Structure 1
């Protein structure tokens, strides 16, 4: 693309050339002309028309618009070739970051589209109801509006009142045992089974498994257990029958959002539309089955997400959700709550493998806090006792956000102004997550993996500049569920197993990226979320039983979840990776 750019004329040269060419067509004598004009053939008229449209496109996109004053790539705003190419290739966020580093935190990148990569501007946009969601959230496949796709602020408020109780901290805590059983416990069960097989064959107790795929299966099992009333059984049973339908439906939704002309076009992407219908029918069947069971047997003692959706009544309007609306909410929950959580865990474990010093620190913290291998780890305890693990997860989400691209919003009537650039009403502004998380004005050494930046002085302000769950009145409803799933899984794995990359891996601590001087990150691809591009090639890891002999287990019959965390002092500001100053590796027996 760089070579192509070098042969393009400057904007002024392009306009002058087109004018000269059009003038030449009009004045050149051609004897074979059959059109009313004595000097032009049909094909010359066609070329004149094309040239005129080309000039008009340039004038419309680069001259007759206030956006022309905003910095940005000239030719790309006209043709958007690289934008569509990067969307297809799954690296749109890399393209946008390249433009942000070149043009600044506010730039014009396509017709009627402006990108914003400054945290203060992002909070303003996402915090105002006047900035409604853009056309990029349009989709015809779900049959009813839902909390994610709706552009109506009043509908969003009503739906949050209806489904909000399902995602409160207290309700997630009630479901924690179920979440644990289909996450940490299920994955541990699979690892132990693989270890048994390897030990029988080789005499060595270890195993090799694909953590990227297994995190993905595990996340689908969580959502299906809570929102569909039964696990899909992907991790334990290898039941992947619904996975293709989910990804196919997500792909269709993404295409319709990106290319609006495809909306409701039944002759396009027929297989994806068929999969979407089958997924909707499957979901509808699950909901109707639960409704019948409620009528025949009574409601379940413990309410899962599905039951709350069925029972929900908006206190202000008295509205209930219809079956079709619950179908829409459940499917969007599958999209938003599976690949996002699993991608975060995949990137976190990968980064720990290529930064062994950080891996050692977080393992030491987890095993010091929870040394008993027979105990479960509660989310509340993990969140309060494992600050370094939390910092690692935050830093992973900063570097490799599960949704790194833009959150599209429409500028309200009257326009807006960001960094001195006036943006007219009706313009689509993208709150660019990847750009926010890599903005060098807010993050020192933004391309480096430095968990310590989320500890000590300034940590709260840096967490405020994290937008992985969005912010404002459209903040992610399922963030408490995501944090619970991630903490339960990662804390248990890091305590119970030692991990290392296979010898034939293409990426590791010693594979350095010449551009950054840091370990090279395996390539990613943006699908339903941003995850590893080649999971079947790059997603393998070796697990061995952890040696917990150095971590004493306190004798405390009242505490079934291990000891309290040893005192740990952390220091660190942006860009400075500092060691843990005091992490006890042993504790005194009571």
Structure 2
């Protein structure tokens, strides 16, 4: 629609489609609130860091959740990510092949199991081992798929908000129980960071219910988005032999010893082709391709000569921004060179996979670390 009618398109009623990178400034600030669409993602009747509409609540909770993704916390959990998500997956594939069971694998499914096991360990203190146990995978991982369907139903049928998400029934009591156990047995992970976090000015802490809903949100967001990006990235690596050769050689040159764990810090510093492949995959296949709906504030706003009154809903789809020929040469072509030349930093500034501004994805560094560890070790 934007290619045909321009960067500002009236879709229906009070909803307007935007497609110009310049217009990011409207949804990167608190001034343009999230629309009521986001209440469909409330958990247990409570807003989460993702679904919260009001600035004050979002700012307060964000301040308390941020320590869970600090450099110190991420360093503490790196071994768990590698052991469970990376080496656990590789060992499962190797042992299955050696046993003669099969040499064909549904990596889309296994990536979901792997990321689920990692996130559940970090936010619940419990590794469900779905990578190794297909019965558990069907029970737990598929419940996340059912939760995703329930979320979309809520956006269309508001009464569905009265029905708890499938993941609430499975995991809320587990989280609450683990919070109680941590009173005498602390552990250096995300759950512990959420328990310990305290506002330095007010002394306020997250309630157990708030911790539970944030943990469930992290589980859902951290599993599906990371697994999908891993799947699309490996898909493009395998269908582009020249890219595969570059990435494989780079990984083997940097980490030749199969018994040596891959280091996130070293991987981020030296695996340039691998990083470029991830970035290009996230550009073409954004895991959240939709419209990021925001509400025009009182007084309205004029965009590209069009006056939009207060309470107009503006949408700016990430997929459209990532495939706009005005910003990307041959946008439909998978080209890792976009991220290796002089335009690298400019292109990175146009990548909206994790959003931007104060409402951007708080777990992006965790996602990056997991993708580096899981996929690089699998390719090795």
Q: Which of the five TM-score ranges fits, normalised by the shorter chain?
A: over 0.9
1:433 aligns with 2:330: no
The answer as to whether partners of 1:168 and 1:480 remain within 8 angstroms in 2 is no
Deviates more, 1:140-149 or 1:482-491: 140-149
Matched, 1:247 2:149: no
Write the distance in 1 (CA, Å) between the matches of 2:97 and 2:224.
27
TM-score of the aligned structures, taking structure 1 as reference length: 0.62
In the alignment, is residue 383 of structure 1 matched against residue 279 of structure 2?
Answer: no
Q: Distance in 2 between matches of 1:129 and 1:184?
A: 37
d(CA) in 1 for partners of 2:13, 2:145: 29
CA distance in 2, matches of 1:453, 1:388: 11
Structure with higher RCO (Cα < 8 A, 6+ apart): 2
Task: Indicate if the aligned counterparts of 2:89 and 2:131 stay in contact, CA closer than 8 A.
Answer: yes
Q: Partner of 1:452 in structure 2?
A: 337
Q: Secondary structure at the match of 2:104?
A: strand
- Residue 286 of structure 1: aligned partner: 174
Q: State whether residues 126 and 473 of structure 1, in contact with CA within 8 Å, keep that contact through their aligned partners in structure 2.
A: no
1:550 corresponds to which residue?
Answer: none
Shift of 1:421: 2.2
Q: In structure 1, how many angstroms separate the alpha carbons of the residues matched to 2:68 and 2:152?
A: 27
- 1:263-342, aligned counterparts within 5 Å? 263-264=160-161, 273=163, 276=165, 279-295=167-183, 298-300=184-186, 302-342=187-227
1:281 Cα shift? 4.4
Residues 362 and 291 (structure 1), Cα distance of their counterparts in 2 relative to 1, 3 Å cut: closer
The 5 A counterparts of 1:395-406 are 395-406=280-291
Q: Could you say if the C-alpha distance between residues 492 and 141 of structure 1 is closer, same or farther in structure 2, counting changes exceeding 3 Å?
A: closer
| CA distance in structure 1 between the partners assigned to 2:320 and 2:172 by the alignment | 39
Runs of 4+ in 1 over 4 A off after TM superposition: none
Who is 1:417 aligned against? 302
Structure 2 residue 110 is the aligned partner of structure 1 residue 225: no
Range that drifts further, 109-118 or 469-478: 109-118
Could you tell me how far apart the structure 2 residues matched to 1:370 and 1:292 are? Answer: 41
* Other structure's SS at 2:316 match: strand
1:486 corresponds to 2:371: yes
- Asked if the contact 1:141/1:253 (under 8 Å) is kept, the reply is no
The answer as to 2:114 corresponding to 1:114 is no
The separation in 1 between residues aligned to 2:182 and 2:252, in whole angstroms, is 44
Q: Aligned partners of 1:328 and 1:293: how far apart in 2?
A: 18
Structure with higher Rg: it is 1
Q: Secondary structure at the match of 2:292?
A: strand
CA distance in 1, matches of 2:62, 2:373: 26
Distance 1:404 1:294 in 2: 38
Distance 2:33 2:371 in 1: 30
Report which stretch shifted further, 246-255 or 164-173: 246-255
| Partners of 1:293 and 1:490 in 2: CA distance | 33
Residue aligned with 2:242, SS: helix
Tell me what 2:68 maps to. 166
Q: Is the 8 A contact 1:408 1:428 kept in 2?
A: yes
2:115 pairs with 1:213: no
- 1:184 matches 2:83: no
Shift of 1:141: 4.6
**Gap runs ≥5 in structure 1:** 1-98, 267-272, 496-590
Distance 1:126-1:168 versus aligned 2 partners, 3 A rule: farther
Counterpart of 1:28? none
> Taking structure 2 as the reference length, what is the TM-score of the superposition?
0.94
1:417 aligns to what SS in structure 2?
Answer: strand
Q: What secondary structure sits across from 1:183 in the alignment?
A: helix
- 1:311 Cα deviation (Å)? 2.0
Report the Cα distance in structure 1 between the residues aligned to 2:239 and 2:302, rounded to whole angstroms.
42
Count of matched residue positions in the alignment of Structure 1 and Structure 2: 377
2:124 and 2:178 in contact (8 A); partners too: no
